Amino acid sequence: MIVGRRLHLRHIDATVALLDTCYLHYCTVSSIGSYRLIFYGTRVLTAIILKFLLIYIRVTSFSKMGGEKPAESTAGGEELSKKALKKQQKVAEKAAKKAEREAQVQVQQDIADQQDVSIELHQKLENKTVWLRGRLHTSRAKGKQCFIVVRQQSYTVQGLAAANEQISKQMIKFISNITKESIIDVEATVKTVPSIIESCTQKGVEVHIQKIFVVSAAKPQLPLQIEDAARPVNESDDTGLNIKVNQDTRLDNRILDLRTPANQAIFRVEAGVCKLFRDILTKKGFVEIHTPKIISAASEGGANVFTVSYFKGNAYLAQSPQLYKQMAIAADFDKVFTVGAVFRAEDSNTHRHLTEFVGLDLEMAFKYHYHEVVDTIGQMFTELFKGLRDNYADEIAAVHQQYAMEPFKFLDPPLRLEFPQAIELLAEAGVTLGEEDDLSTSDEKLLGKLVKAKYDTDFYILDKYPLAVRPFYTMPDPNNSKASNSYDMFMRGEEIISGAQRIHDPDFLTERAKHHGIDIEKIKSYIDAFRYGCPPHAGGGIGLERVVMLYLGLDNIRKVSMFPRDPKRLTP
Ligand SMILES: *[C@@H]1O[C@H](CO)[C@@H](O)[C@H](O)[C@H]1NC(C)=O
Ligand SMILES: *[C@@H]1O[C@H](CO)[C@@H](O)[C@H](O)[C@H]1NC(C)=O
Ligand SMILES: *[C@@H]1O[C@H](CO)[C@@H](O)[C@H](O)[C@H]1NC(C)=O
Ligand SMILES: *[C@@H]1O[C@H](CO)[C@@H](O)[C@H](O)[C@H]1NC(C)=O
């Protein structure tokens, strides 16, 4: 018997009931299972019988020898039988050992089979009995029959219960009364279907239910229907029943909302971005560090910090790990990155602002030119996009099934423009900016479109921002007093990382801070970090959620934050 221990629809565990102790009481052993059971059973039995035989031989030979006394006076015949006994004993010992070994190998084999979860629920399993655990996605009773759809994450299969000798009418009633989204265990026979089942992911088969158990029931009234929450945003309204679920209802009931195929995929892509970020940088020799989130002062002298009470005084939530990354560089870690929560007390209720998000930050010492760092970050993104494209194609497709969007385009190596080139592009499109003006959000959007039209890329680097629009710690361009060694990077016309070469000379840093009218006392610890020698370095901070949102072409950052925090939302 094949046991789908955790209702793997796509991947059913091929396991033997015997070893599956949790479900042993549910199972009636059949076909393969019983054969394996007997096979396994006989081996164990043989081992036990041989063991007993061995003990018997030992005991009898011992008593025949008359205890411990050496049998010197005994006749030759008895000597012979003693030898024969010893031989017998050895043979039995060997056989017992062998049987024991074989039994052990068999157990290991069965455990290995149990862990091998790669059998898809499809036609090959026809007439096999399987155990499935999943959610009751939908159910529909029709006279003496009940159709259900069992869902496991994003995968679904149709189940059918029909009243017959084995299945009573009460059972049909029981099944049709199970609330949607309840967790159920089903024992069923796999059957191929004459015509494809369009509404399920397992299209060629259905399962004929023999037993069904409710493992955990859902409340009868759901605050939102999974089908409604999963409906493509672009589906044409033929029926007049095109129900959509609004964002607040989704976020208020996030555990239900997260069960849709698109959401299942979004957070797997997000995990992929984190994993790729870590893997790519680790391979490039970066060290992952962890920085404190509770700090004594706004580290870069910025505003918009959350104040928290800290024993008898106050502390702040870190807006960025920048100071700590830079201190790690001053402490000779050479290349560091960190993944962690970042807090912004900004009352911005936009599609792209959160008050808490995940920062993917990196900082790197360089030898000759800060472009070593810009190139490293650019390369990291190219590899990241390749990794997503190659390893997350199913997830990306699942998201796009609900939210249609053009696939993400990028160049290898990435495009790098300088700020004056951007000004020029915008001017050609009729938007005039001064050479020391910053880009507004709408300028950035427009620039993204212009760059896409001209270079066919959704990702690019904009280098050499005007010094006047960057923070005090930004290194000026030695060749142009109005420019700086700083950069932003964009995806689909929105900024995803801001970075720069940082000033590593304490006196120059003090001078620049004064120029910006910053109280030196307040940033003393930041400046002091560079008093014992620090290599030239640059870095940047990436917003994880923004990368995921823009890569997938989604329109709101709350879609890619599992439990988003914004000025109006603190729960769930
Ligand atoms: C499954 O059972 C049906 C009905 O007993 C039979 O017609 C069919 O050939 C079987 N299929 C397999 C693959 O054993
Ligand atoms: C249907 O389910 C409800 C609980 O969800 C239960 O109270 C009721 O007894 C069930 N009815 C039948 C006929 O099983
Ligand atoms: C909406 O759906 C139609 C039909 O599937 C498709 O042709 C069209 O491109 C979609 N529009 C958008 C904006 O995704
Ligand atoms: C400054 O100009 C020199 C000479 O053209 C060049 O080699 C160097 O890379 C420039 N420095 C920066 C930071 O752009």
Q: What is the pLDDT of residues 267-287, one digit of tens each?
A: 999 999 999 999 999 999 999
Protein residues with CB under 6 Å of any ligand 2 atom: 173-174, 177, 179, 220
> What would the pLDDT profile of 196-254 be if each residue is shown by its tens digit?
999 999 999 999 999 999 999 999 999 999 999 999 887 665 555 667 899 999 999 99
User: Which of 231, 233, 234 to mutate to test ligand 3, by most ligand atoms within 8 A of the CB atom?
Assistant: 234
Please check the confidence at residue 59 and state whether its pLDDT lies above 80.
no
Per DSSP, the chain holds a count of helices (H) and strands (E) of: 15, 18
**Over the stretch 315-365, which tens digit does the pLDDT of each residue have?**
999 999 999 999 999 999 999 999 999 999 999 999 999 999 999 999 999
What per-residue confidence (pLDDT) applies to 431?
Answer: 92
- Nearest ligand, measured from the Cα of 123: 1
Which pLDDT belongs to residue 236? Answer: 60
439-483 pLDDT tens trace: 999 999 999 999 999 999 999 999 999 999 999 999 999 999 999
Ligand 2: centre distance to CA 174 (Å): 7
pLDDT for position 17: 28
Residue 27 has pLDDT above 60, yes or no: no
pLDDT score recorded for residue 225 = 94
The token duo for 40 is: 């396994």
Q: In this predicted model, which residue has the larger pLDDT, 122 or 259? A: 259
Backbone angles phi, psi at 470, to 5 degrees: -110, 160
Q: Which of 538, 513, 21, 53 is nearest to 301 (CA)?
A: 513
The answer to whether 461 touches 489, Cβ cutoff 8 Å, is yes
pLDDT tens by residue, 371-415: 999 999 999 999 999 999 999 999 999 999 999 999 999 999 999
Q: What is the pLDDT of residue 5?
A: 37
Distance (Å) from CA 483 to ligand 4 centroid: 12
- What does the pLDDT read at residue 84? 82
Q: Per DSSP, what are the bridge partners of residue 434?
A: none
pLDDT of residue 434: 85
Q: Dump the DSSP string for 111-128.
A: HHHHH---B-SSGGGTT-
Contacts of 309 (CB under 8 A, 6+ apart): 315
pLDDT at site 244: 83
- 205 contacts 157 by C-beta, under 8 angstroms: yes
User: Which ligand 3 atom sits nearest the alpha carbon of residue 236?
Assistant: 2
Q: How confident is the model at residue 53 (pLDDT cuts 50, 70, 90)?
A: low
Average pLDDT of span 18-27: 29
Instruction: Tell me how far the alpha carbon of residue 324 lies from the centroid of ligand 3, in angstroms.
Output: 47
Of 101-110, 145-154, 288-297, the one with minimum mean pLDDT is: 101-110
Classify burial at 48, counting beta carbons within 10 Å of its beta carbon; exposed 0-12, middle 13-18, buried 19 or more: middle
The pLDDT, as a whole number, for residue 474 is 97
* 413: preceding bond cis by omega (within 30 degrees): yes
DSSP alpha helix (H) spans, 116-201: 169-176
Q: What mean pLDDT comes out for the span 423-428?
A: 95
Helix (H) or strand (E) holding 107: helix 76-115
